[in-house]
Amino acid sequence: MSSKPDFDPKTLRRHVLHMAHSGNSVHIGCAFSLIEIVSVLYGSVMRYDITGPEMPDRDYLILSKGHGVMAVYAAYRELGWLEQEDLDRYFSDGSKLHGLCEASVPGLEICSGTLGHGLPIAVGIAYGLKRQGSDRVVYCIVGDGEMNEGPMWEAMLFASHHQLDNLVVIVDANGLQAMGTTGEIINLEPFAQKFESFGFSAIDCSGHDMELLQTALRPTPGKPHAVIARTVKGYGVSFMENKIEWHYLRLNPQLMESAMAELETPESRS
Domains of the chain and any CATH numbers: 9-262 (3.40.50.970)
The confidence score (pLDDT) of residue 270 equals 32
Calculate the alpha carbon distances from 5 to 13, 41, 44, 212 in Å: 16, 11, 9, 19
The confidence score (pLDDT) of residue 2 equals 62
The confidence score (pLDDT) of residue 3 equals 81
The confidence score (pLDDT) of residue 135 equals 97
Phi, psi values for residue 68, rounded to 5°: -95, 20
pTM of the predicted protein model: 0.96
The confidence score (pLDDT) of residue 269 equals 39
* Sign of the Cα pseudo-torsion (172, 177, 181, 187, in order): negative
Each residue's pLDDT tens digit, 90-147: 999 999 999 999 999 999 999 999 899 999 999 999 999 999 999 999 999 999 999 9
Task: Provide block-wise average pLDDT over 10 residues at a time, the chain (270 residues).
Answer: 85 98 97 98 96 94 98 98 97 94 96 94 98 98 97 98 98 96 97 98 98 97 98 98 97 98 70
Name the H helices within the chain. 9-22, 28-32, 35-40, 69-79, 84-88, 118-132, 150-161, 182-185, 191-197, 210-216, 253-262
140/156 Cα distance (integer angstroms): 12
The confidence score (pLDDT) of residue 265 equals 75
195/193 Cα distance (integer angstroms): 5
